[in-house]
Structure 1
Amino acid sequence: MSNFVQLEIDERNKWVYFNKYRWVAHVVYWIFVLIVSTIMPAKGPITFSLILNHFFLANVMIASFFYLYCLVLIPYFFKRNKYLQFWLLVISGYLIITAADVFFGRAFVHLKDPVMLEKDHSFLADYIENLYGFLYNFLFFAIMLFFMEKNEENSTLMELEKEKKEIEQVKLDFLKTNISPDFILRSLHQLKESAKIPEESTPEAILTFSDLLRYRLYRGRQTQTPLKEELSAFSSFVHFIGFDQQLKVVFHVQGDAENKKLAPLALINLLEPFCKIPNPEPVVLEIMLLIEANELLMEMNYAANATPQLLTDLEAYKENYVQLYGDSVKFQFERSQNDVFNVRLSLPLVTIAL
């Protein structure tokens, strides 16, 4: 659970970083405009009145138009595929805010230095002049916004791909280390009952069960484990089940397990559903493993009827194996002749290069 919490924290930190990056870019741009268009052309001293009129008031309308464009029109119209409304609002805003800029400039902006107004222009002349000025500034703004959005999009895609892999790894770790609570409770109950009776097999059963839990803890988080270790843990599991008088496991292995790997717990997990079935009489579970060059074949013959819970568990495990191995896994189970339930599993093996 902590892994998912950490991913959520990383996601929030990422968006905080992107927002800081975007606003830093905007601040740098406006500082550049202040220096180039106001401070450098100034013929006299840099006063508060000069910065107020020639920078803040002179650019308030074009800034309003651009930030209306990038904060409202793009996210709420363009990115939602409302293209007709988007372009109508862009063009309308361009024409209306440009006209508002002329009125605003005449009423509130007092340009003295470095721009001296030699004569009053008509509203139409100022409007046409502002249309060109707005267009040039808007195109520059739009180009800057495009590259910022593109950079953010690429960074976001990379982060999302990374987080997707991390989340999938968390899911796979959970699948590999998942242990049936019913099996744990039954095993602990079995050990508790055995401990009440002074039997020679009780210490061995406790040690064997401890080895199985230790194997889950240390090997379950790894991507691959040597096939020999998995078979050893599987043999310990079979040996531990042998202390139960109701399920008798017959285990056969053919082939060479040297220099081969597979996902840890891939075999052990499949054995657990059969340990949960309450059997009034002893039932035999025959398991045959065939180790080939790049594949492990497993066949299980259960000499009893499959319960609905067993079928449900096997369906869940089938989905888990598909998530772990993809299409390379083959998992089938069916009732065969003489009321024997048959399970067949094929897993890919990784050969260790010498």
Structure 2
Amino acid sequence: MVFIKFNLTYLLITHNVWPEGPETIDKLTLNYTIDMMMGELYVITFVTAIKITFDFLNEQKRVTDLEKSQLETELLFLKSQISPHFFFNTLNNIYSLSVEKSNKTPKIVLKLSELMRYMLYDTKSKKQSLENEILCIQNYLDLERIRNDDRLEVNMSISGDIHDKEISPVILLTFIENAFKHGVNKNTGKVKIDISFKIKEDYLHFTISNPTPEITKHKDNFNQSSGIGLENVKKRLELGYNKNDYKLSFKNKKNIFVVKLVIKVS
């Protein structure tokens, strides 16, 4: 390239091919060759640095997009686990009532169909309105009231403005379903469930409490929180929210299990 540059400059432009040099030359010299090669090296280095920078940024974007895609795939998988888990437990309840030839069965099937419609068609997006989530919970509570009659006491309170608030679908319902699975189904006699929704600025303060199972072998499993539901929801929170956007805690005191979740819903 230096040879070509020298001859083109000498033949087409000027015989003084190295005006910035220490001497006038009319032939290719070692000093001229070294000087030209150093100049070209600077250009090549600069262009290479730009190329490497763009390649690095493109690779970072590709890795970020891949990680995002993997997170979304994992979230979808976790969400797909919830519905079978939830419906499996409910269908077991319906089966028990059908064996008893209970007249509650048609009402429970109707409520279950409403829940299925919501969970199959309205939970595909990353976020769902808090109002719809609470409505879904109310349908579930109605289903449990029908099934348990007078032995069940449910106190649910809502305070603050729940309009225009969004939350990941089925997050709260998982805690509700877990409370009934362990607090109601594994206890005899009258059972009390307390549920609270409090909106403070951009955060929902959700609390649910239920009695722990009476049977010892169930208590051990319950205290470990090892069921699909709770482990699933903890993983979904980790993947779907920043660490500063939620706080989840469990407390077991005086045979009452309490779940508290503070989560951003703006």
Could you tell me the TM-score, scaled by structure 2's length?
Answer: 0.68
In the alignment, which residue of structure 1 is the partner of 2:265? 349
In the alignment, which residue of structure 1 is the partner of 2:245? 328
Q: CA deviation at 1:250?
A: 0.9
String of CA shifts for 1:14-54, please: whole Å, max 9, x gaps: xxxxxxxxxxxxxxxxxxx8xx959x96xxxxxxxxxxxxx
In the alignment, which residue of structure 2 is the partner of 1:312? 226
Say if 1:280 and 1:231 are closer, same or farther in 2 by CA, change over 3 A: closer
Does the residue aligned with 1:260 lie in a helix, a strand or coil?
Answer: coil
Following the alignment from structure 2 to structure 1, what is the Cα–Cα distance between the partners of residues 222 and 195?
23
Q: CA deviation at 1:215?
A: 1.4
In the alignment, which residue of structure 2 is the partner of 1:11? none
- Aligned identity (percent) is 16
For structure 2, the residue ranges without an aligned partner over 5 or more in a row are 9-26, 214-218
Say if 1:236 and 1:249 are closer, same or farther in 2 by CA, change over 3 A: farther
Q: CA deviation at 1:281?
A: 2.5
Q: Which among 231, 256, 261 is matched to residue 165 of structure 2?
A: 261
In the alignment, which residue of structure 1 is the partner of 2:108? 205
Does the residue aligned with 1:312 lie in a helix, a strand or coil?
Answer: coil
Say if 1:307 and 1:240 are closer, same or farther in 2 by CA, change over 3 A: farther
Say if 1:254 and 1:215 are closer, same or farther in 2 by CA, change over 3 A: same
Q: Which among 92, 95, 118 is matched to residue 189 of structure 1?
A: 92
Does the residue aligned with 1:292 lie in a helix, a strand or coil?
Answer: strand
Following the alignment from structure 1 to structure 2, what is the Cα–Cα distance between the partners of residues 282 and 141?
83
Could you tell me the TM-score, scaled by structure 1's length?
Answer: 0.53
Q: Where in structure 2 are the equivalents of 1:1-354 lying within 5 Å?
A: 37=4, 138-176=41-79, 178-179=81-82, 181-196=84-99, 198-245=101-148, 248=152, 250-263=154-167, 264-277=169-182, 279=186, 281-282=188-189, 284-294=191-201, 295-305=203-213, 306-309=219-222, 311-313=225-227, 314=230, 317-325=233-241, 326-337=243-254, 339-350=255-266
Q: How large is the RMSD of aligned CA atoms in angstroms? A: 3.7
Does the residue aligned with 2:82 lie in a helix, a strand or coil?
Answer: coil
For structure 1, the residue ranges without an aligned partner over 5 or more in a row are 1-32, 42-117
Does the residue aligned with 1:223 lie in a helix, a strand or coil?
Answer: coil
String of CA shifts for 1:107-141, please: whole Å, max 9, x gaps: xxxxxxxxxxx9xx9xxx98x88766765555444
Say if 1:261 and 1:177 are closer, same or farther in 2 by CA, change over 3 A: farther
Say if 1:270 and 1:335 are closer, same or farther in 2 by CA, change over 3 A: same
Following the alignment from structure 2 to structure 1, what is the Cα–Cα distance between the partners of residues 118 and 161?
18
Does the residue aligned with 2:170 lie in a helix, a strand or coil?
Answer: coil
Does the residue aligned with 2:226 lie in a helix, a strand or coil?
Answer: helix
Following the alignment from structure 1 to structure 2, what is the Cα–Cα distance between the partners of residues 239 and 211?
11
Matched-pair contact (CA < 8 Å) for 2:175–2:208: no
One-letter amino acid of the counterpart of residue 144, structure 1: V
Q: CA deviation at 1:240?
A: 2.2
String of CA shifts for 1:172-203, please: whole Å, max 9, x gaps: 44445541654432322333344455443222
Following the alignment from structure 1 to structure 2, what is the Cα–Cα distance between the partners of residues 293 and 142?
57
Q: CA deviation at 1:233?
A: 0.3
Does the residue aligned with 1:239 lie in a helix, a strand or coil?
Answer: helix
Q: CA deviation at 1:236?
A: 0.9
Matched-pair contact (CA < 8 Å) for 1:299–1:342: yes
Following the alignment from structure 2 to structure 1, what is the Cα–Cα distance between the partners of residues 186 and 174?
20
One-letter amino acid of the counterpart of residue 251, structure 1: N
Relative to its length, the structure with more strand (as a share) is: 2
- Which protein, 1 or 2, shows the higher relative CO under an 8 Å CA cutoff with sep ≥ 6? 2
Q: CA deviation at 1:234?
A: 0.3
Q: Which has the larger radius of gyration?
A: 1
Say if 1:286 and 1:275 are closer, same or farther in 2 by CA, change over 3 A: closer
Following the alignment from structure 2 to structure 1, what is the Cα–Cα distance between the partners of residues 264 and 246?
7
Matched-pair contact (CA < 8 Å) for 1:177–1:221: no
Q: CA deviation at 1:208?
A: 1.5
Q: How many residues align?
A: 232
